[in-house]
Structure 1
Amino acid sequence: MTAEELWAEFCSKKNVDINTPYEAWGFGGSGDDVPGRLAKLVKEGIKFGTASSYDLYELEDALDELPRAGDYSVILDGNDEAVCIIRDYDVYVRPFKEVSPFHAYSEGEGDKSLKYWREVHKEFFEEELEETDLSFTEDLKVVCEKFSLEYVPGKDVEQELLFAEPSMDYAEEIESYKKEMLEAGSSFDGCFSMKRHDNVRDFVDDCINWSNPSREADERGVWGNVILVIRKSDHKMVGCMQVHNVLNDRMKNYTGHVGYSVRPSERRKGYATKMLSKACDFLRSFGIEEIGVSCLPDNEASRKTILANGGEYVETVFLEEDNVNLERYIIR
Structure 2
Amino acid sequence: MTEKELWAEFCSKKNVDINTPYEAWGFGGIEESDTDKLAELVLKGKKFGTASSYDEYVMEDITDEIPKIGDYSVILNSKDEAVCVIKDYDVYIRPFGDVPPFHAYAEGEGNRSLKYWRDVHTSFFKKCLDETDMPFNQESKIICEKFSVEYIPGENLPDEELLFVEPSMNFEKEIAAYRQEMLDADSSFDGCFSMKRMPNTKEYVDHCIEWANPRRDADEHGAWGNVLLAIRKSDMKMVGCMQVHNVLTERMKNYTGHVGYSVRPSERGKGYAKRMLAKAVDFLSSFGFEEIVISCLPENEASKKTILSNGGKYIETVFLDEDKVYLEKYKIQI
Partner of 1:314: 315
Work out the CA distance in 1 between the residues paired with 2:57 and 2:196.
Answer: 38
User: CA separation in 2, counterparts of 1:289 and 1:195?
Assistant: 32
Equivalent in the alignment of 1:269: 270
The alpha carbon displacement at 1:9 in A equals: 0.2
Worse-matched range after superposition: 31-40 or 311-320: 31-40
CA distance in 1, matches of 2:106, 2:306: 23
In structure 2, how many angstroms separate the alpha carbons of the residues matched to 1:156 and 1:40?
17
Gaps of 5+ in 1: none
Structure 1 residue 97 corresponds to structure 2 residue 97: yes
Query: Given residue 109 of structure 1, which amino acid in structure 2 is its aligned partner?
Result: E
User: Normalised by the size of structure 2, how large is the TM-score?
Assistant: 0.99
What is the distance in 1 between the residues matched to 2:221 and 2:100? 18
State the partner residue of 2:291. Answer: 290
Which amino acid is the alignment partner of residue 232 of structure 2? Answer: R
Q: Which sits farther off after the overlay, 272-281 or 27-36? A: 27-36
Q: Are residue 25 (structure 1) and residue 28 (structure 2) matched?
A: no
- 2:244 alignment partner AA: V
SS at structure 1 position matched to 2:188: coil
The CA distance in 2 between the partners of 1:292 and 1:93, in whole Å, is 33
User: 1:210 aligns to what?
Assistant: 211
> 1-side partners of 2:74 and 2:32: how far apart?
21
In structure 2, what is the equivalent of residue 62 of structure 1? 62
Could you tell me how far apart the structure 1 residues matched to 2:168 and 2:139 are?
20
Question: Counterpart of 1:233 in 2: which secondary structure?
Answer: coil
Letter in 1 for 2:210: N
In the alignment, the residues of structure 2 paired with residue 309 and residue 124 of structure 1 have an alpha-carbon distance, to the nearest angstrom, of 37
Residue matched to 1:163: 164
In structure 2, what is the Cα distance between the partners aligned to 1:291 and 1:46? 21
Letter in 2 for 1:181: M
Q: CA deviation at 1:279?
A: 0.2
Once the two structures are TM-superposed, the CA of residue 220 in structure 1 deviates from its matched residue by 2.2
**Pairwise CA RMSD of aligned residues?**
0.7
> 2:124 aligned with 1:121, yes or no?
no
Equivalent residue number for residue 152 of structure 2 = 152
After TM superposition, the structure 1 = structure 2 runs for residues 1-332 of structure 1, keeping only pairs within 5 Å, are 1-158=1-158, 160-332=161-333
Does the 8 A contact of 1:313 with 1:328 survive in 2? yes
Structure 1 residues 112-141: Cα deviation after superposition (integer angstroms, max 9, x where no partner): 000000000000001000111111111110
Query: Is the contact made by 1:3 and 1:74 (CA closer than 8 Å) also made in structure 2?
Result: yes
The answer to whether the 8 A contact 1:244-1:258 is kept is: yes
CA distance in 2, matches of 1:328, 1:220: 21
Letter in 2 for 1:258: V
Q: Is the contact made by 1:90 and 1:165 (CA closer than 8 Å) also made in structure 2?
A: no
Greater mean alpha carbon deviation, residues 55-64 or residues 92-101 = 55-64
In structure 2, C-alpha distance between the alignment counterparts of 1:222 and 1:2, rounded to whole Å? 49
Deviations 1:137-169 (A, max 9, x none): 111100000000100000111261000110111
1:273 and 1:305 in contact (8 A); partners too: yes
| CA deviation vs aligned residue, 1:249-275 (integer Å, no higher than 9, x gap) | 000000000000001000000000000
Residue 59 of structure 1: how far off its partner (Å): 1.3
- Tell me the TM-score normalized by structure 1: 0.99
Give the Cα–Cα distance (whole angstroms) in 2 for the partners of residues 170 and 257 of structure 1. 25
CA contact (8 A) 1:241 1:261 kept: yes
Segments of 5+ residues of structure 2 without an aligned counterpart are none
Q: Percent identity?
A: 68
Moved >3 Å (runs of 4+): none
What secondary structure is seen at the aligned counterpart in 1 of 2:318?
strand
One-letter amino acid of the structure 2 residue matched with residue 61 of structure 1:
D
Task: Give, in whole Å, the separation in 1 of the partners of 2:221 and 2:57.
Answer: 38
| TM-fit CA distance, 1:32 | 4.8
What amino acid does structure 2 have at the position aligned with 1:167? S
Q: How many residue pairs are counted as aligned between the two chains? A: 332
Quote the Cα distance in structure 2 between the aligned partners of 1:271 and 1:32. Answer: 39
Shift of 1:31: 2.3
Q: Secondary structure at the match of 1:328?
A: strand
